[in-house]
């Protein structure tokens, strides 16, 4: 397990105003960690990841059997920050029956004809399950805020100056509603540097097996980097709550991202009062009868 004090540094305290530039994209949020050196940290991170993946398999079974809570994990990030790879690795030991991943793209015409939370509501995890949102309703206060021309279908009067504040409020209320109904929510912003994004885009261009991952649209969004950092900062500050906190995860090194995300998921599930369902007296009697019947066959 990663020490709580390091995790606390990545968790955005509700009500506190953070600046993304204060968050390390490498791995060391403290000088103490920096001093350990990259190789040592990487080795430890990989060990922690292995252990957490094994634990996650166990605790997910318990979540499923317990059948009262669900876990919603939201991933948001700039392109090439490693959302897909993180989801793939962290969930590798999880029973596919208890886990659903949804990747949200540009909304369809039907989706745009509904309120912005509609398509997400339809895909929330059931009790006992883990639901992963690869992009989410946060796109509606991120990409849409950077490109307000995307807001085409609203009555004019609704687009006043409280519009974004209202959306943050709606998101907080929505998440509050989910939490009150037994959904545990974790939100990860994978914090990649502009430099690392360039390096990963270059790899996509240079390596034939990675060509398919490159999209010209990604380059167009990169040109809005500063705007994105600003809207991320605003969204994170407005929506990190006790019931749905944001974690700002360093994303320049995949081993660091994966170890941190796996650790936070596993320890969050461990803190729940999960238990295998109790078998009642009446059920025990039925089991005894069944055993007798089978034995007498």
- When asked if residue 55 is in the footprint of ligand ATP (CB under 6 A), the reply is no
- When asked if residue 146 is in the footprint of ligand ATP (CB under 6 A), the reply is no
Going by the DSSP 8-state scheme, the letter that residue 19 receives in this structure is -
Rounded to whole angstroms, the Cα distance separating 193 from 176 reads 31
- When asked if residue 187 is in the footprint of ligand ATP (CB under 6 A), the reply is no
Sole binder of ligand ATP in the list 24, 55, 139, 263 (CB under 6 A): 139
- When asked if residue 199 is in the footprint of ligand ATP (CB under 6 A), the reply is no
State which residue, 190 or 262, has the beta carbon closest to ligand ATP: 190
Rounded to whole angstroms, the Cα distance separating 59 from 64 reads 9
- When asked if residue 107 is in the footprint of ligand ATP (CB under 6 A), the reply is yes
Binding-site partner at residue 150 among Mg ion, ligand ATP, none, CB < 5 to 8 Å by type: ligand ATP
- When asked if residue 200 is in the footprint of ligand ATP (CB under 6 A), the reply is no
* Residues 25/251, Cβ–Cβ less than 8 Å: yes
Rounded to whole angstroms, the Cα distance separating 186 from 73 reads 5
- When asked if residue 16 is in the footprint of ligand ATP (CB under 6 A), the reply is no
Give how many residues touch Mg ion by CB under 5 A. 1
- When asked if residue 150 is in the footprint of ligand ATP (CB under 6 A), the reply is yes
Which of the stretches 27-35, 103-111, 245-253, 289-297 binds ligand ATP when contact is defined by CB under 6 A? Answer: 103-111
Tell me, residue by residue from 77 to 116, as one string, x for binding to Mg ion by CB under 5 A and - for no binding. --x-------------------------------------
- When asked if residue 140 is in the footprint of ligand ATP (CB under 6 A), the reply is yes
Q: Determine if residue 80 is left, alpha or beta; phi over 0 gives left, psi from -120 to 50 gives alpha, anything else beta.
A: left
In angstroms, the Cα distances linking 50 to 26, 115, 235, 276 are: 20, 41, 32, 25
User: For the chain, where are the alpha helices, taking DSSP H only?
Assistant: 4-10, 31-36, 38-66, 83-90, 109-112, 118-121, 143-146, 163-180, 194-206, 216-222, 225-239, 254-270, 281-296
Short-list 130, 9, 145, CA closest to 75: 130
SS3 266: helix
Rounded to whole angstroms, the Cα distance separating 102 from 135 reads 8
Q: Helices 163-180 and 225-239 meet at what angle, rounded to 10?
A: 50
Binding-site partner at residue 258 among Mg ion, ligand ATP, none, CB < 5 to 8 Å by type: none
- When asked if residue 211 is in the footprint of ligand ATP (CB under 6 A), the reply is no
Sole binder of ligand ATP in the list 135, 145, 187, 258 (CB under 6 A): 135
Residue 164 C-beta: closest distance to Mg ion, Å: 24
- When asked if residue 190 is in the footprint of ligand ATP (CB under 6 A), the reply is no
* Residues 192/77, Cβ–Cβ less than 8 Å: yes
- When asked if residue 24 is in the footprint of ligand ATP (CB under 6 A), the reply is no
In the structure encoding, which two tokens stand for residue 289, read together? 């009868």
- When asked if residue 118 is in the footprint of ligand ATP (CB under 6 A), the reply is no
Residue 76 C-beta: closest distance to Mg ion, Å: 13
Interface ranges with Mg ion (CB under 5 A) = 79
Residues that bind ligand ATP (CB under 6 A): 79, 84, 103-107, 134-135, 139-140, 143-144, 150, 215
């Amino acid at each position: 397990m990663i020490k709580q004090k390091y995790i606390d540094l990545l968790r955005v305290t509700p009500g506190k105003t953070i600046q993304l530039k204060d968050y390390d994209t490498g791995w060391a949020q403290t000088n103490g960690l920096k001093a350990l050196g990259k190789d040592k940290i990487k080795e430890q991170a990989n060990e922690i990841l292995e252990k957490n993946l094994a634990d996650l398999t166990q605790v997910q079974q318990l979540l499923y059997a317990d059948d009262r809570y669900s876990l919603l994990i939201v991933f948001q990030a700039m392109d090439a920050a490693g959302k897909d790879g993180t989801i793939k690795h962290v969930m590798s030991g999880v029973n596919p029956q208890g886990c659903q991943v949804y990747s949200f793209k540009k909304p369809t015409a039907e989706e745009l004809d509904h309120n912005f939370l509609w398509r997400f509501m339809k895909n929330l995890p059931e009790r006992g399950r883990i639901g992963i949102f690869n992009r989410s309703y946060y796109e509606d206060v991120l990409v849409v805020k950077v490109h307000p021309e995307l807001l085409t279908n609203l009555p004019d009067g609704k687009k006043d100056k409280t519009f974004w504040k209202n959306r943050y409020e709606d998101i907080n209320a929505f998440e509050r509603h989910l939490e009150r109904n037994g959904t545990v929510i974790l939100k990860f912003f994978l914090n990649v540097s502009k430099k690392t994004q360039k390096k990963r885009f270059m790899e996509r261009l240079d390596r034939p097996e990675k060509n398919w991952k490159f999209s010209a649209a990604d380059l167009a969004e990169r040109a809005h980097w500063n705007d994105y950092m600003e809207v991320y900062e605003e969204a994170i500050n407005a929506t990190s709550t006790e019931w749905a906190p944001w974690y700002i995860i360093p994303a320049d090194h995949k081993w660091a991202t994966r170890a941190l995300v796996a650790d936070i998921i596993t320890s969050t599930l461990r803190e729940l009062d999960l238990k295998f369902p109790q078998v009642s007296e009446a059920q025990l009697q039925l089991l005894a009868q069944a055993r007798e019947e089978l034995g007498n066959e």
